[in-house]
Structure 1
Amino acid sequence: MSLDILFSEAEIGARVEAMAYEIAEALPARMLAVPIMTGAFIFAADLLRALYRAGVEPEVDFFQVASYGEGTVSSGNVQLLREIRADVTGRDVLLIDDILESGRTLTYARKALMDRGARRVLIAVALEKPHKLVVDIAADFVGFQSPDRFVIGYGMDYAGKYRELPFIGALDQA
């Protein structure tokens, strides 16, 4: 396997700071932020700290879902592993995920929040692969456009490995 760096730690840091100010302009300071675990944990932590610096003080709760398992292709089935506990009725929610690829996970999570009575659900993702979408959904805030390669690092994994990398890389299996 070979690894190419797509987005450096410095590039990611600068983009996350810029995203926080974009979000601060679009959402109220007391919104609910809902990261989707596990892949979004590093991006969510960085984004939440950047939101604080931008004057936003969100309440935070977590969804945990799975769709990849041990492979490099989504199974197509979204499994809910952890439910949020916060009351979303009438609230503005920022759904945070690592990557918008097929769109299934974010569609599932957005629908769950809207079904619970959220006033509005906006989506922030570190990466977007718009050419891979299989459902009609768009992110409101996007860190980077990703090439059609299997990405790892910055919280994203391959079979539980590489999450700790401070950059986003592409893994080529040769």
Structure 2
Amino acid sequence: MTGNPEIRVLFDEEAIATRVDAIATAIAQDNPHNLLVIAVLKGSFIFAADLARALHKAGSAPEMEFLHLSSYGSGTVSSGEIKVLRDVESDVSGRDVILVDDILESGRTLKFARDMIAARGAKSVRIAALLDKPNHRKADVKSDYTGFNCPDKFVVGYGMDMGHAWRQLPFIGYVPQEGDD
């Protein structure tokens, strides 16, 4: 990415940490045993790591797995075609599964992941999404554990990127477009 655009903070580190702890507490209460947490890569990696640590503090001891799906490539608009770049290695049959993703927008990727894991015999498949953009939903899917409702902005930081840049930011922000205040 060229240049250094101004990035405005949408959700700061403290707000994110508070929500992650609340999500972990709710997940730990709902899923006390045999929990498998599957991070949907790449965007969820920071959220998933923080959530795993918060789950530990909340008294849960989930196993962690990773599912690398792609529908964006290097662009900023989903192609609509989901590709499995890395599959989970664990047997999910009979397990309570939490899919962890950075943002639930169109819902296509999480519906694909949920349906795939359910078809493999998971006892339950729930979704933890840090951000939810319900106005952009194209697939019938909802988040069971949501961090924040997200305004209609392209967000970066806390694992989310724009053309592979800005994942490292400790907050969630956006690059202002014309008309933003």
Quote how far apart the aligned CAs of 1:173 are. 4.8
List gaps (5 residues or longer) in structure 1.
none
Q: For residue 111 of structure 2, give the secondary structure of its aligned residue in structure 1.
A: helix
Q: Is the 8 A contact 2:34 2:95 kept in 1?
A: no
Q: Which residue of 1 aligns with 2:18?
A: 14
Q: Which residue of 1 aligns with 2:105?
A: 101
Amino acid at match of 2:129: V
List gaps (5 residues or longer) in structure 2.
none
Q: Which residue of 1 aligns with 2:73?
A: 69
Paired-residue identity, %: 50
Amino acid at match of 2:117: L
Equivalent positions of 1:42-61 (< 5 A) are 42-61=46-65
For residues 163 and 176 of structure 2, what CA distance do their matches in structure 1 show? 14
Q: Which residue of 2 aligns with 1:165?
A: 169
Q: Deviations over 1:111-158 (max 9, x none)?
A: 110111001001001100000000110000000000000000000001
Q: Which residue of 2 aligns with 1:153?
A: 157
Q: Is the 8 A contact 1:30 1:56 kept in 2?
A: no
TM-score norm. by structure 2 comes to 0.93
Q: Is the 8 A contact 1:39 1:97 kept in 2?
A: yes
Amino acid at match of 1:29: H
Q: Which residue of 1 aligns with 2:147?
A: 143
**Between Structure 1 and Structure 2, how many residues are aligned?**
174
Moved more, 23-32 or 141-150: 23-32
Q: Is the 8 A contact 1:29 1:55 kept in 2?
A: no
For residues 101 and 46 of structure 2, what CA distance do their matches in structure 1 show? 10
Amino acid at match of 1:24: A
TM-score norm. by structure 1 comes to 0.97
Residue 34 in structure 1 maps to residue 38 in structure 2: yes
Residue 134 in structure 1 maps to residue 138 in structure 2: yes
Misfit runs of 4+, over 4 Å: none
Q: Of the candidates 123, 136, 141, which is equivalent to residue 119 of structure 1?
A: 123
